[in-house]
Amino acid sequence: MNKDSNITQEELNYSQRIINSLNDYYEKRIVGQKNLQKSLLLTLIANGHILLESVPGLAKTTAAKTLTNALNAKFSRIQCTPDLLPSDIIGTQIFNYENNSFETKIGPIYANFVLLDEINRSSAKTQSATLEAMQERQITIDGKIYKLPEIFIVMATQNPIEQEGTYLLAEAQLDRFLIKEKLDYPTAAEEVEILNRLENKIMEQNEAILKLEDIHFLQNLSQKIYIDESIKKYIAQIILATRFPKNYIDKNLADYVELGSSPRGTIAFMECAKALALLNNRSYVIPEDIKELRYSILRHRISLNFSAMADNVEVETIIDAIFGAIATP
C-alpha cells in the first residue's frame, strides 16, 4: 500500500499534542465512556454531527460541555419537548415597540456545540427545523440566510426506553448524523471514581486549554490523510451490500433488512476513517479503521423491518454478517 501523504512529521506531532490535550482534559472530567470519548473526537475532527442513544444520566451533557470548555467555545443546550416550536430553535422575528420595527432574534442553534436533548420528544416539524442547519450549516429567518459558525456540531440524544409520546426520527434526519453511538452504564469501580471526583470537586475545573484554531488545524490535516483506492472500493462494496444484502449474506438475515445506506454512509466512512487514522497518529487509513467504525457509521443507516424487532435481531448482527462477507483488502 502506498502510504505517501502531504502530511509532515511536524504536523503529525502537533496534531498529537492537540489530541492528547483533549483526551487528558476529557479523562479528568469524565469517568469511563471511552466510546463516547472517541466518537466525540471523531465528530469534532470530521466536523459532523453525532446521535447518542442511552438512558438519562450517562454524562452526555457533561461530555458536550467538557469539549466546549476545553476550547472556550459557545455551547447551547435545547431540551426537546412535544410543544417545542421550530422558532424556539432557529429563532424568529420579534417586534420592537421602541423603534416600531421587527428585529431578528437568532435562536440557540447558533453555537459551536448544540446539544439537542431527547430529540425524539420533539415533533417532526421541529426536528425538520434542524435539517437545514445540519446539512447546509445555515438557518433562514424571514427569507434571510444566516451562516452558522464554521465549527458547528449537533449532539442529539434519544432515550431508547421511554417511547410513549415520542416521534421517531425520519431516515433523512438520521442520515445527517455522521455517527450514532450507544452508551452503557458505568462499572461499579467507575461509579466509585465518580463519587470521589465529585467529593474532591475535580470535575468543576473548566479552564480552556485550546482554541478553535487548533480544531481547524485538525480538520484541515484530516483531509490530507491518505486513503488507498482499494480501501475506497472496500467501503463502496460494504455500502452496496447494505442495499442488496441477499447477494452477500444469509437469506434469513437479509430478509430483515428494509433499507440500506445512502451515499452519505460512504462519505462518512471515509471522513471518519481519516479522523481515526489521525487519532491513532497515522497519516494513512488502514482496513481496520473501517472495521472499527462499522457500528458507529451503519447502525442508524440500515433500517430493519418489524420481523427483526419481533425476532430480537439487532442491526449490529446484520453489520457483522456484511463485514464477514466482504473480503478485506
CA 302 – CA 80 distance, rounded (Å) = 25
CB 140 within 8 A of CB 101: no
Query: Within 13 Å, how many C-alpha atoms sit on residue 7's CB side?
Result: 28
Tell me the mean pLDDT in the region 239-262: 94
Q: E-assigned strands of 9-136?
A: 50-53, 75-79, 91-96, 101-106, 113-117
Compare 171 and 232 and report the one with higher pLDDT. Answer: 232
pLDDT digits (tens, 9 = 90+) for 173-190: 788 899 999 888 888 998
Q: Is the pLDDT of residue 3 over 90?
A: no
Tell me the mean pLDDT in the region 68-90: 87
Q: Is the pLDDT of residue 1 over 50?
A: no
CA 312 – CA 304 distance, rounded (Å) = 11
Confidence of residue 4 (pLDDT cuts 50, 70, 90): low
Element (H, E) at 141: strand 138-141
* pLDDT at site 164: 55
Partners of 179 in beta bridges: 50
Structure-block grid coordinates of residue 324? 464477514
Tell me the mean pLDDT in the region 260-283: 95
| Residue indicated by cell numbers 430553535 | 89
- Measure CA of the first residue to CA of the last residue in the chain; give whole Å: 10
Label residue 4 exposed, middle or buried (CB < 10 Å: 0-12, 13-18, 19+): exposed
Q: Is the pLDDT of residue 243 over 80?
A: yes
Tell me the mean pLDDT in the region 201-210: 70
Number of helices (H), then strands (E), in the chain: 15, 11
- Looking at every residue in the chain, the average pLDDT score rounds to 87
Compare 293 and 202 and report the one with higher pLDDT. Answer: 293
Tell me the mean pLDDT in the region 149-166: 78
* pLDDT at site 203: 59
Compare 295 and 184 and report the one with higher pLDDT. Answer: 295
Confidence of residue 165 (pLDDT cuts 50, 70, 90): low
* pLDDT at site 2: 42
* pLDDT at site 53: 86
Residues 6+ apart with CB under 8 A from 23: 37, 41
Map out the domains of the chain with their CATH numbers. 1-224 (3.40.50.300), 227-329 (1.10.8.80)
Structure-block grid coordinates of residue 273? 476513517
- pLDDT-above-90 percentage for the chain: 48
Q: Is the pLDDT of residue 202 over 80?
A: no
3-state secondary structure of 304: strand
pLDDT digits (tens, 9 = 90+) for 62-75: 888 888 888 888 88
Tell me the mean pLDDT in the region 249-278: 95
